[in-house]
Amino acid sequence: MGKDVEKLPQIKQFREWFEKRHDYAKDWKKKNGGRVVGYYCTYCPEEILYAAGVLPVRILGSHEPESITRPYLHDMYCPFCHDTLAQGLQGRYDYLDGVTLAQSCLHMRQAYFSFADRVPNIEWSYYMPFPHGVNNPYAGEYTKAEFEKFKASVEEWTGTTITNKELDEAIEVYNKNRELMMKVFELRKAENPPITGLHAMEMVVSSQMVDKREHNEVLESFLEDLKDVEPNRETGTRLMLIGSEDDDRSFLEMIEYGINYPATFVYEENCTGARYFWDLVRPEEDRLMALAKRYVYRVPCPAKDWAVGKLFRRRFNHIESVIKEYNVQGAIIAQMKFCDPHELDIPSLRKLFDQHDVKHLTLELDITQPIGQFRTRVEAFLEAMAEEDLFF
């Protein structure tokens, strides 16, 4: 008999890291005596921090109601940004030594500055100009120049010199993490994927919190064990999750485990999913250039994906290949309330799904989710898809 994925120790480990992220970082500090830097957006070149012996951890929210950010962040700014700032103001990130942001959407920009100014334990903060126009040919060079400044600032702050050797090691560790997670994702193309979207989210988000070396070890054994997993749930409708950051367990649980129509996420096209780790650093003599190219030419966030001469969105090309390779039947567009970059793509995205005959449902995320209401809507959506199947 095959193994039950839920019982795999690696799944438990990812979950524990996910839930006890702050404890992990504090323990890491104790053990390693190193510094921890919170980063706000996945365009941060974590490898540079890692090469300096710093642990980069992603700043995320907690999905608990709060009202302490309203004096600083207008309520038209996205709930994710409010949630992250609330975490800082409540002292949950009291172990951070620094905070950084590779220029991202405006909401994050303001949340970052408020966090950097108002969270008392922050001793180093770095705002990195990062191109918005990642589809233009000069973005790589510009980014490289900014990475040089970032590296110099990290070196000055930590009193280290980051040599090519350290950068190579960091790149290797990070690339390995990416490769391993891509391999896990590859398994989700199967008719009965061994893991659900919830597992995938916990795997990816935990990789954003823990030392990648440790994460790699667990991933390697996870891949081994996954070979023997026998899916004991009905896959049902093959869904793609697409949109803003989404690390809310209750949301994924509800869709995959909480409704009458079986459904499984086979791919998450967001920055708490595939967009975080997709695409490797291709080694070249100029290490910072290699890093710059990876970050600029990775599958872009909608905040950076727009026309320069030609009308195309790189992310859409990627989505089209995912639809085919993962045999996607339906898409849940989970978009953070007030998130302009994603909202700006949604009408065209819906059209794209229509062209590929992928049914779609848009849900608006908030700090906490109206699960009951979502359940009804998702159920109706899946039911309609099931009925269509009956007739065609």
Partner 1 sequence: MEVKVRPLDCWNDFKKYRERYYKNYLEAKDKGGIRWAGSAWAFDPVPHGLGEDVYSLTGEPYGATCAFFHDFSRECLENIERQGVARDLCGYMRNYWGSIVLDKYLLADGSTVSPFPKPDFNFTIHICCSHAKWYHFAAELEGGIPTYAVDISVGPGYMLDDKKIEYVVRQLRDAIPWMEKITGREYDDELLIKAVYAEADAMSTWAKICKLNQAQPAPLEEKSMFSLYVLNLINRGDPEVAKLYHKLYDEVESRVKRGIGALTYEQFRFLTDNPPPWAFLKVYRYLEKEYGAISLGAIYTFGLAGGWIGMDEKGEKWIWEPAPTPEEAGVEITNREEALRWTAEYNLRYRASWQHEYSHWIRKQETYQMVKDWKADAMIMHLNRGCELWNMSTLEVRDYLVKNGISVATYEGNMADPRDFDEARTFNVIDSFMQSLGIEKIS
Q: Which residues bind partner 1 (CB under 8 A)?
A: 70-74, 76-77, 103, 105-107, 109-110, 113-114, 117, 127, 129-133, 136, 138-139, 141-142, 145, 302-303, 306-309, 311, 313, 337-338, 340-341, 343-348, 350
- For residues 136 and 368, which CB has a smaller minimum distance to partner 1 in the complex? 136
State the minimum distance, in angstroms, from the CB of residue 272 to partner 1: 19
Spatial distance between the Cα atoms of 226 and 11, rounded to a whole number of angstroms: 11
The one of ligand SF4, partner 1, none whose footprint includes residue 372, by CB under 5 to 8 A per kind, is none
Report the DSSP pairing between strands 237-243 and 263-269: parallel
State the minimum distance, in angstroms, from the CB of residue 153 to ligand SF4: 23
Scanning the structure block, which residue is given the tokens 């979502």? 374
114: CB partners within 8 A, 6+ apart? 69, 72, 73, 85
- For residues 30 and 74, which CB has a smaller minimum distance to partner 1 in the complex? 74
Token duo for residue 326: 């993962």
State the minimum distance, in angstroms, from the CB of residue 336 to ligand SF4: 4
The one of ligand SF4, partner 1, none whose footprint includes residue 80, by CB under 5 to 8 A per kind, is ligand SF4
State the minimum distance, in angstroms, from the CB of residue 312 to ligand SF4: 20
Spatial distance between the Cα atoms of 172 and 4, rounded to a whole number of angstroms: 31
3-state secondary structure of 31: helix
On whether the CB atoms of residues 180 and 216 are closer than 8 A, the answer is yes
State the minimum distance, in angstroms, from the CB of residue 207 to ligand SF4: 19
Output the residue with the shortest Cβ distance to ligand SF4.
339
Spatial distance between the Cα atoms of 358 and 331, rounded to a whole number of angstroms: 7
3-state secondary structure of 2: coil
Contacting positions for ligand SF4 (CB under 6 A) = 78, 80-81, 105, 107-108, 244-245, 303, 336, 339, 341-342
The one of partner 1, ligand SF4, none whose footprint includes residue 81, by CB under 5 to 8 A per kind, is ligand SF4
The one of ligand SF4, partner 1, none whose footprint includes residue 336, by CB under 5 to 8 A per kind, is ligand SF4
The one of partner 1, ligand SF4, none whose footprint includes residue 337, by CB under 5 to 8 A per kind, is partner 1
- For residues 86 and 154, which CB has a smaller minimum distance to ligand SF4 in the complex? 86
- For residues 182 and 344, which CB has a smaller minimum distance to ligand SF4 in the complex? 344
Token duo for residue 267: 């791919």
State the minimum distance, in angstroms, from the CB of residue 78 to ligand SF4: 3
- For residues 31 and 310, which CB has a smaller minimum distance to partner 1 in the complex? 310
State the minimum distance, in angstroms, from the CB of residue 338 to ligand SF4: 7
369-377 long-range contacts (CB < 8 A, ≥24 apart) are 369/63, 369/248, 369/250, 369/251, 369/254, 371/250, 371/251, 371/254, 371/258, 374/251, 374/254, 374/255, 375/254, 375/258, 375/259
Q: Which of 187, 201, 272 is nearest to 230 (CA)?
A: 187
